[in-house]
Amino acid sequence: MTQDEADSDTGTDDGTATIEFVGVSLLLLLPLLYLLLSVFAVQRAAFAVTQAAREAGRAYSTAPSEGVGQQRADYAARLALRDQGVKDRTSVHFAPEGADCRGSTADGAATLRPGARFTVCVRTVATLPVAGAGIPVRGRYTVAVDTYRRPR
């Protein structure tokens, strides 16, 4: 084998390592990137429902009446979710203190009686990027109505 033949054999592989690296990187990094974006979307929704439950409970407990409290709670939850960039497909329910928020409907546990305690449950769906699939996310907050609140 002459020097020219040896140079021509090694010259055919020039640049293929770069192409292979880019190809393998795309195959490995794209699924990892999608996984990270999905985890971030679910985490953002988890933060949002936790904040929404807390704000809804505070809005309800400071309202002058239960009807106004429900309106305030719904608005506060929507505002908190919007603040975190979560789409407004949410529901706000009230449950007895210590409930796990897995029930589908409210049971009227919310009251403005001084010293009352109840749980605010907020549910939404975390939308995954690209696929559009959703993961249900729940947040809850236990509200303690002020003991010295003037009954209305």
Span 137-152, pLDDT tens digits: 999 899 888 888 776 5
Give the residue extent of every domain in the chain.
15-144
Q: How many residues are present in the chain?
A: 152
pLDDT tens string 89-127:
788 888 888 777 776 555 556 678 888 888 899 999 888
Calpha distance 140→123 (Å, rounded): 9
Calpha distance 106→69 (Å, rounded): 14
**Closest to 69 (Cα-Cα) out of 112, 124, 29, 129:** 112
Per-residue pLDDT at 99 = 74
Average pLDDT, integer, range 61-68: 88
